[in-house]
Amino acid sequence: MMISGFDMHALVGDAVRKACSELFSVELAEGQLQLQKTRKEFEGDITVVVFPLTKLSKLSPEATGEALGKFLTEQVAHVSKFNVVKGFLNLSMSAEFWKGFFAAALKQDDFGFASPNSAPHVMVEYSSPNTNKPLHLGHLRNNFLGYSVSEILKAVGHRVTKVQIINDRGIHICKSMVAWKNYGNGETPESSGLKGDKLVGKYYVEFDKAHKAQMKALIKQGMTEEQAAQQTAIMQEAQEMLRLWEARDEATIELWTKMNGWVYDGFASTYKSMGVDFDKLYYESNTYINGKEEVEKGLAAGAFFQKEDGSIWIDLTDEGLDQKALLRKDGTAMYITQDIGTAILRFRDFPDLAYQIYTVGNEQEYHFKVLFMILKKLGFEKADQCYHLSYGMVELPEGKMKSREGTVVDADDLMEEMATVAQEVSAEQGKLEGLPEAERNQLFHIIGTAALKYFLLRVDPKKNMLFDPKESIDFNGNTGPSVQYTYVRTQAIQRRYAEAHPGFNPKEANSEGHTLSTAESEVVAKMYEWPAVLRMAATTYNPADIAHYSYDLAKLYNAFYQDHQIVKETDEQARNFRLALTYKTGVVIREAMRLLGISMPDRM
């Protein structure tokens, strides 16, 4: 992905080796040469860590850096100047180096990207909702993260299969079913006017209310809270419904099918608004059967043990974990049972699959440690090729959300609210004035969605975060709309010039005689980082690297724009270069934001 002839690390590395040979009469051994990006507070593009070289030079770090810096600026045409800060030699590349690099990058439509399917096949799981409630703010971070990681992996050459496991069975599903059966009076999405997933979620909350009321009565009768939680009439009914479901009771399956159908219709609408998709769907109602079969095999092989009550367990205490139930005493499956079956099934479905990535919140870290250890105990050879992409929770100023209590932030409502906030902020700042109403409404959705995605993705996935809708949509800060606005600026400049010069192609216009200014060099130098940023984001599964890069590039371009004429520049070659720089900056920003799942409007 690096442009041939313009690999700064290789160029400087070779030059430092030559310098050490000629200045100090030594050859650098493996690991002695350390190069890194120059820190923002210092001038330079690339830094040589001098400390490991002092044993060879027999000089102080400062004197070693000075000697190397003088040699490189005198002997290497592309190194223009240097400075030494303690044991660090900061080198600045020449304007000619950046100009040559840019000319080469300009000709590459896929600059920074690897050839499709040039890297191993990867599966990314995300979303994976329960069919007892609508998607909420936490699901938004999950979906945006999983989708973006998938697109980033594609960009570095991986074949990617995007999947979700739909958790459509289990006690939580039965809770909604029992509540609807007892209190629903035949209510449907059509009769209520509610999306199907929201209607089912309503009855999940109703179950919790009834369960708590019954618990309170049992505790008054002398039960402990733990005993009461298992003994309420409505909980007993839900557990019996789960048993009937696994026994394929006709009436239970009919109710389950009907209510799940409502939810799937609701999910499809939400995913469309989110702008995410999947290549294959797995359903827990199918994969738990595979899991039960694998558990039975493990029991027969001695990997698991059975208690007197008939439940099946695994003992992981020697691995620093705990004992874990795999099948209940009545033979019904646990949540982890389907995960066992799903993991094995996926590798069978895709024999060339290199590894699986599970995008699931950090509250499930222990669950995945147990799952991967169970797969090892079963002798599954690809157990080590499963990875948990753990991410922190999204909280609001008022605290943590709770689905069963109905205090979650609904995903549909939040996306709609973001469009409204976009409208309000645009009006305050005078944006979008003069556009037709239909076009404005479409833009409000694009801007609001960009604000939401960017805000949720700009934070390292491992960290918890606080979501602030107003802050996320600021046109001047490190936000999606701010980056979008810079992109729109690049498009407006090109349109303006093209109107007066039809057929102008910035990729072919001559700018050979133009000498780059400092601001122009800084934009190009940031563009140079794009392939490395992309590779790092793919290696660490961290879209935040892409988000911050997009903002930094936009900020540097805006600084250049403020101090340079472009369309009105009278020097033809300078104008040609700046139009080309504008074009390529727009392309890189657009592609970076695309990897975050963010659409870029042409006008704002």
- With respect to residue 102, please indicate whether it lies within any of the assigned structural domains: no
Amino acid at position 226, single letter: E
CATH number for the domain that contains residue 233: 3.40.50.620
pLDDT value for 1: 60
CA pair distance 282, 339, nearest whole angstrom = 11
For residue 109, with 0-12 CB atoms within 10 Å meaning exposed, 13-18 middle and 19 or more buried, which class applies? exposed
Pairing state of beta strands 35-37 and 323-327?
unpaired
pLDDT in tens, 478-499: 999 999 999 999 999 999 999 9
At residue 406, does pLDDT exceed 50?
Answer: no
Q: Are residues 390 and 478 in the same domain?
A: no
Q: State whether 377 and 428 are in the same domain.
A: no
pLDDT at 403: 41
Q: What is the pLDDT of residues 272-281, one digit of tens each?
A: 999 999 999 9
pLDDT, tens only, 285-307: 999 999 999 999 999 999 999 99
Whether the per-residue pLDDT at 427 is higher than 80: the answer is no
Question: pLDDT per residue over 201-246, tens digit each?
Answer: 999 999 999 999 999 999 999 999 999 999 999 999 999 999 999 8
CATH code of 24's domain: 3.30.1360.70
Report the DSSP beta bridge partners of residue 82: 91
- Give the per-residue pLDDT at 398: 62
What mean pLDDT do residues 180-208 have?
Answer: 96
pLDDT of residue 401: 41
Q: Are residues 350 and 421 in the same domain?
A: no
Residue 173 CA to residue 492 CA, distance in Å, equals: 52
Q: What is the pLDDT of residue 436?
A: 79
The last residue of one of the domains, among 76, 93, 110, is 93
CA 368 to chain centre: 19
Q: What is the pLDDT of residues 1-44, one digit of tens each?
A: 667 778 999 999 999 999 999 999 999 988 899 999 999 899 99
Q: Is the residue at 40 inside a domain? A: yes
**216 in the same domain as 347:** yes
Residues 6+ apart with CB under 8 A from 292: 327, 333, 337, 341
Whichever domain contains 421, its CATH number is: 1.10.730.10
Q: Which of 36, 71, 93 is the last residue of a domain?
A: 93
- Strands (E) across 407-543 are located at 465-466
Measured from the Cβ of residue 44, the count of other Cβ atoms closer than 10 Å reads 19
In the block, tokens 């609701």 appear at 266
Question: Is 419 a domain residue?
Answer: yes
Picking from 275, 307, 264, the residue whose alpha carbon sits closest to that of residue 134 is 264
Helices (H) and strands (E) in the chain, counts: 22, 14
Q: Which residue has the tokens 């005993």?
A: 227
| Domain residue limits at 269 | 126-395
Residues 6+ apart with CB under 8 A from 11: 76, 78
pLDDT in tens, 460-483: 999 999 888 778 887 788 999 999
Residue 602 in domain: no
Position 402 pLDDT exceeds 60: no
pLDDT at 392: 95
Q: How many Å apart are CA 155 and CA 533, to the nearest integer?
A: 12
238 plus 141 within the same structural domain: yes
What integer best gives the mean pLDDT of the chain? 93
C-alpha atoms less than 13 angstroms from C-alpha of 221 in its C-beta half-sphere: 11
pLDDT exceeds 90 at position 400 = no
Residues 500 and 524 in one domain: yes
Which of 42, 68, 93 is the last residue in one of the domains?
93
Instruction: State yes or no: pLDDT of 316 exceeds 90.
Output: yes
The two three-digit tokens of residue 581, written as one number: 């720089």
Give the pLDDT confidence score for residue 178 in this predicted structure.
Answer: 97
Give the type of residue at 67.
A
Asked whether residue 374 falls in the same domain as residue 423, the answer is: no
Q: Looking at the structure, do residues 251 and 330 belong to the same domain, yes or no?
A: yes
* 187 and 48 fall within a common domain: no
361 plus 270 within the same structural domain: yes
Q: Summarize the confidence of residues 57-86 as an average pLDDT.
A: 95
Q: Is residue 43 located within the same domain as residue 160?
A: no
Residue 112 in domain: no
What are the pLDDT digits (tens) for 111-168? 999 999 999 999 999 998 999 989 988 899 999 999 999 999 999 999 999 999 999 9
Q: Per the structure, how many domains does the chain have?
A: 3
- The share of the chain scoring above pLDDT 70, in percent, equals 97
Three-state secondary structure readout of 81-135: EEEEECCEEEEEECHHHHHHHHHHHHCCCCCCCCCCCCEEEEEEECCCCECCCCC
Question: Is pLDDT at 408 greater than 80 in this prediction?
Answer: no
Whether the predicted pLDDT of 397 surpasses 90: no
Q: What is the mean pLDDT of residues 330-359?
A: 93
Q: Indicate whether 1 belongs to any domain.
A: no
Same domain, 313 and 369: yes
